[in-house]
Structure 1
Amino acid sequence: MVALAIGLALVEWLRGHVLTGFPWNALGDGFAANTLMMQPAALVGVYGLSFLAVLIFACPAVITDPLPQSDRGRFAFPVAVALLFAGLLGYGAVRLAGPGSEDVAGVRLRLVQPAIAQGDKWVPENRQWIFESYLSLSVGADGAASGDGNESGPDANGLDGITHLIWPESVFPFLLTEEPEALAAIAALLPEETTLITGALRAEGAGGARAFFNSIYVIAGDGTIRDAYDKVHLVPFGEYLPLRGLLESLGLENLTKTPGGFSPGYRRRPMTASPAPAFSPLICYEIAFPGNVVGRDGARPGWMLNVTNDAWFGESIGPYQHLHRARLRAVEEGLPVVRAANTGISAVIDARGRIRGSLALGNTGILDAPLPEADPPTVYARLGDMPLGAMLLLALGVLLGGRIFTARHDSAGRME
C-alpha cells in the first residue's frame, strides 16, 4: 500500500510536467474536497496531497491483509495513519481559525462576466455588440446582476470608486491595438483613477510571418496600454497544434480560429497596476500548474489574476473544477486569487482558499469586491516540491525497513 502511494504520487507529478504537463484532476484535488482539507496544500502542495490521499484512504486494506501477523501489527499502521489524518485536519482547522486576511487599502475591484457563448464569440458580425456589452456591463447597465458576497452591489455612479476593472480572457474578437476607435471608447469609459486589466489577442510582425499571442493588457484611464503579458503555457490542440503539418493534413485544426495557433510567451513575470500590489498573471489553465503560478526570480507578488474563457466547457462540471484549481493555488502560495471568467465562475478568493464573492456559472453580471491581502509565504511557496520528495524518501525508507524486518523475522522463524 505504501508502494502504491509512492508510485501514484510519482505518476501524478510526471503527468503534471512531462510534455508540458496536464495536472488536471490529480488525486490530491480529490483529497482537498473542501476548504478544511485543502489547507495541508500549504505544506506539501497538491502532489503531496496525492500521496497522502492514497496512503490514508487505502490504509484500511491493511486490516484485511491475509498475511499472518499479530493483531498489534495488523492495527498499528492504520492507527498511525489515522493519527496523521487527524493531524492534517487539525492543521487545517487551526489555519482557518486564525485571523482572517485584511483587505488591501484603497483597492476596489469590479469583475465583468458577460456570459458570451463560444459559438458567438468569434463570429465577425458579433464584434460590435460583444464590445458594447463589455462597455455597458462595466458601468452596471443592462440590469447586470451583482455577485454573491457583494455587500454594496454595483456602484450607482458607474465606475466611481472602482480602482480596477477586470475583463476575462480574449475579450475582443479583433486586435485591440489595430482598432483605435475601441481604445478611444475604453478611454471614454474609464475614469482617470480606474485601470482596466483585460485578456486580449496580440500580434507581432506582418503578413504571413505574424505571430499571435494570448495576452493580458493593463490599460490606464487615458486608454494607453501600460503593460502586456503573453501566455506562457499554451493548451495543446486548443491554442497550438502539435505536429501541425501532419495533423492538418488529416483534417485536424486548432479549436481556436487563429491561423497557425498562438505563440508562447517568454516567461511569467509580475505585472503592476497601482494602487494594487503587483500581481502574477495567469491565463486560463495556467492556474492549474502547482508551483508554476508565480515567477521565482523576482519579488513576490501580492495576488494572482486568472482571466479565462471557460465557455469551452459549457454547462458542465469543468468550470467548477477550474475554480477548485484556483482555490488550491491560493492555499499553496498563500496568495489571493482574482478570477474573471467569460461564462463563469468569476470569483475573489482569499489566501486560504475561501471564496469572498462569486458570480454563478452562466450568469451575466458584475462583481464588486475588495482585494484580500496576502498571507506570509507558505512552506510550499518557499520550498516547492521538496516536502513531497522528503515524504517519498521517508515512505520508501519505511517500506524497505519493513521488508528487511519481515525477511529477518521469517528467516528466524525457519531457523527455529
Structure 2
Amino acid sequence: METLQNLLQRFAARHQALKLFVLGALAAIALPPTDLWPVLFITVPLALVIFTRESQSLYRRIAWLGWLYGLGYFIAALHWIAYAFFVNPERDLWMMPIALGSLAAFMAVFWMLAILAASFAAKRSYPLWLVVPATLAMAEWLRGHLFTGFPWSALGQMSDGMFGVEQLASIIGMTGLSLMVPLWASAIYGAVFETARRRWLAVALLITFPLSLVWGQLRLASHPTAYVPDVMVRLVQPNINQNEKWLERHARKIYDTLLALNARPSSTGKPITHIIWPESSVPFLLDESAAGRAELAKAMPPGATLMAGAVRRSAANDQAQYFTSILVLNDQAQVLNHYDKWHLVPGGEFLPLAWALEPLGLRKVVSLPESFTPGPGPTNLEIPGAGLAGMSICYEAIFPDAVAGPSIRPNWLINVTNDGWFGKSTGPYQHLAQLRLRSIEQGLPAARAANTGISSIIDPLGRVTFQSLIGVSDAYDLALPQPVSQTTYGRLGDCLFFVLLLVVIGLGHFFKKS
C-alpha cells in the first residue's frame, strides 16, 4: 500500500494541469455508447491525488486546475456537436470550434466552482474525496437548471452500462446518480490513502455499489415487460438527408416518402392504431395545408391517430411566431391537438444574445428567418385509444422535469427527434440513453421516432425492446409496453437527491480531522 501511495504521489508531482485535462477527457469514455465505466474508478482517484496535493494552493490555481479538468471532460463528452456544422460546411463550419469550444469552456466553469468549493471545505479539514462528489453533483444539478439548462453528459448517465445500477433512477433520479457514481469512484481514493477510520467509511460506501447492482437486477427480473392490448405503434423513420430537408425542391419527395411509410400494410398483421413521425418531419406547414392533409387522409390506416413532428405558425400582435411542435391528427387528417416545444436548443432553434452575435456573423444552425418561440411548458396530451402521453421534442428528453406534465401522470412518453445532424457519432446513442433514464425515473414506457438516429420503444424499466439502425428509411410496427406503478422519483422528484447531498456533507463534517 505504501509503495502505491508513493507512486501516486510522484504521479501528481509534475504537469498537473495537463494530467487533469487528460483525466477529464478519459472520464468521458464512461458515457454511452462506450459505457467503459471502470475507467472512472481510475481517473477520479488519480485526479483526487492531484487535487489533494494542490488543496492548500491559492484559490486561483485551484480554479484553473478545476476548469481544465472540466474542459477535458466536456470537449470529449460533447465532441459530437461538431458533426452538425458539417451539414452545411460552406456556411457553418467556421463556427464549429467557436461553438464547441465555448460550450465546453462554459460547462467547465461549473466543475471549476465545484472544485473550488471542495477545496474550501478541505482547508477546513473535510475529506476532499468525500466533498468533491457532493460539490460536483450540485454543480451538475445547477448545470441542468441555470441559463435554460444543459444536463447532457451528466455524471449520472455513466450508470447506463452498470448492469442494473441505473435502476436507482427510479428512486433518486439521474441527479442522485450524479452524486453516487463519482462517490463510488472517489471512495477508491479513500480506501487507499485515508486513515483507518475514514478508510472504513470508504469501504462501506464502495459496498453500496454491488448492492445497488444486485438490487437493480432483482428489480428487472421482477418486472417482465408487459404490453398494452390493442395498441400497435408505427414509428416512421424517413431518413431524410439534412442537406435536403428544408429545400423547397425536395418537399414533394420528402412528403411522398412519409406518406408511403405511413400507408404501408402492417408488418404484424395487427391493425396500426398509432403512428409517430419524427421532429419537423414535414417540410411545410401541415396544419395550414388543406391539400397536404387531404393526401395524408388517404394514407392513414382506418381509425389510426398520427403524432407528427411539424413546424407550426401562430400570429400574435400581427407578427408570425414559429413553433416546433407535435400535431395530433385523426385518420381524416384533422388536427385534434398540438404540443409546442418549450426547451429550445441554444444556437440551434434560437440564438442567445442575438443582438451581439449576429453582427459577428454567428447564426442559428436551423435555417428559419426567425427564431422559434418556446411553448408554455411540459404538457400531457390525450391520445385517442392510448390515454395521456407525456410529450417531448428532441433534447427535451434530457431534462427530467420536461417529459411529462405536472398534473396527472401519463400512460406513456412520446419523443420525436431528428438526430440526422449528428451522423453516426456518439450523440444519437447518448440521446437514446437519456430517454431510457426518463423511463426508469417515471416508470413509463417511451416511443421515440427519429428522422434518422435511433427510433425505439423503451419499457418502463428502461429496457429497449426495439432499436432501429442509423441511416435507414423504414417504418416499424411495435407493441407498446405497459407502465409500472409510479416510482419514488416520479412522486418526489429531486427531493431525495438533496437528502443524499446533505447526508454526504454531514459525513464529511463528522469525519473532519479524523
**Is the structural similarity TM-score above 0.5?**
yes
Partner of 2:325: 215
Partner of 2:215: 91
Provide the secondary structure at the position in 1 that maps to 2:166. coil
Q: Is the 8 A contact 1:334 1:376 kept in 2?
A: yes
- Structure 1 distance, partners of 2:364, 2:249, is 21
- Structure 2 distance, partners of 1:325, 1:109, is 21
- TM-score when normalising by structure 2: 0.73
Partner of 1:188: 298
- How much has 1:178 moved relative to structure 2? 2.6
- How much has 1:313 moved relative to structure 2? 0.7
- How much has 1:207 moved relative to structure 2? 10
**Between 245-254 and 281-290, the greater mean CA deviation after superposition:** 245-254
Partner of 1:343: 452
Partner of 2:338: 228
Aligned-pair RMSD on alpha carbons? 1.7
- Structure 1 distance, partners of 2:296, 2:272, is 15
Deviation string 1:320-350 (CA, Å, 9 cap, x unpaired) is: 0100001011001101110000012000000
Q: Is the 8 A contact 2:323 2:341 kept in 1?
A: yes
- Cα 1:140/1:34, change in 2 over 3 Å: farther
Deviation string 1:294-323 (CA, Å, 9 cap, x unpaired) is: 111x21100000000111111211100100
- Structure 1 distance, partners of 2:417, 2:185, is 34
Amino acid at match of 2:376: Y
The yes-or-no answer on 1:110 pairing with 2:219 is no
Q: Is the 8 A contact 2:260 2:299 kept in 1?
A: no
- Cα 1:245/1:91, change in 2 over 3 Å: same
Q: Is the 8 A contact 1:164 1:194 kept in 2?
A: yes
Partner of 2:273: 163
Partner of 2:367: 257
- Structure 1 distance, partners of 2:251, 2:446, is 29
- Structure 2 distance, partners of 1:224, 1:124, is 24
Partner of 1:16: 144
Q: Is the 8 A contact 1:45 1:332 kept in 2?
A: yes
- How much has 1:208 moved relative to structure 2? 7.6
Amino acid at match of 1:378: T
- Structure 2 distance, partners of 1:235, 1:303, is 24
Which structure 2 residues correspond to residues 272-287 of structure 1 after superposition, within 5 A? 272-287=382-397
Q: Is the 8 A contact 2:141 2:175 kept in 1?
A: yes
The yes-or-no answer on 1:386 pairing with 2:495 is yes
Q: Is the 8 A contact 1:101 1:375 kept in 2?
A: no
Amino acid at match of 1:114: P
- Cα 1:189/1:269, change in 2 over 3 Å: same
Q: Is the 8 A contact 1:154 1:366 kept in 2?
A: no
- How much has 1:119 moved relative to structure 2? 0.7
Segments of structure 1 that go 5 or more residues without pairing to the other structure are: 142-152, 407-416
- How much has 1:74 moved relative to structure 2? 5.7
Deviation string 1:258-303 (CA, Å, 9 cap, x unpaired) is: 112100001221111221121011000000002332111x211000
Q: Aligned to 1:137, which of 261, 265, 286?
A: 261
- Structure 2 distance, partners of 1:86, 1:207, is 59
Deviation string 1:210-249 (CA, Å, 9 cap, x unpaired) is: 1000000000011100001110100011001112222111
Q: Aligned to 2:153, which of 14, 21, 25?
A: 25
**Between 55-64 and 11-20, the greater mean CA deviation after superposition:** 55-64
Q: Is the 8 A contact 1:358 1:367 kept in 2?
A: no
Bigger helix fraction: 2
Q: Aligned to 2:441, which of 314, 327, 332?
A: 332
Provide the secondary structure at the position in 2 that maps to 1:162. coil
Partner of 1:100: 224
The yes-or-no answer on 1:82 pairing with 2:206 is yes
- How much has 1:75 moved relative to structure 2? 3.8
Partner of 2:474: 365
Deviation string 1:11-42 (CA, Å, 9 cap, x unpaired) is: 10010000000000111101232551211111
Partner of 1:304: 413
Provide the secondary structure at the position in 2 that maps to 1:118. coil
Amino acid at match of 1:352: L
Q: Is the 8 A contact 1:140 1:155 kept in 2?
A: no
Partner of 1:124: 248
Provide the secondary structure at the position in 1 that maps to 2:339. strand
Aligned residues: percent identity? 39
Number of aligned residue pairs: give it. Answer: 386
Deviation string 1:88-126 (CA, Å, 9 cap, x unpaired) is: 112101110113132112111010111111111111100
**Between 307-316 and 126-135, the greater mean CA deviation after superposition:** 307-316
- Structure 1 distance, partners of 2:208, 2:178, is 15
Q: Aligned to 1:266, which of 372, 376, 379?
A: 376
- Structure 2 distance, partners of 1:369, 1:187, is 22
Amino acid at match of 1:115: N
The yes-or-no answer on 1:154 pairing with 2:154 is no
Amino acid at match of 2:205: V
**Between 174-183 and 389-398, the greater mean CA deviation after superposition:** 174-183
- Structure 2 distance, partners of 1:131, 1:256, is 20
Amino acid at match of 1:154: S
- How much has 1:62 moved relative to structure 2? 1.6
Q: Is the 8 A contact 1:291 1:381 kept in 2?
A: no
- Structure 1 distance, partners of 2:352, 2:361, is 13
Segments of structure 2 that go 5 or more residues without pairing to the other structure are: 1-128
- How much has 1:78 moved relative to structure 2? 2.9
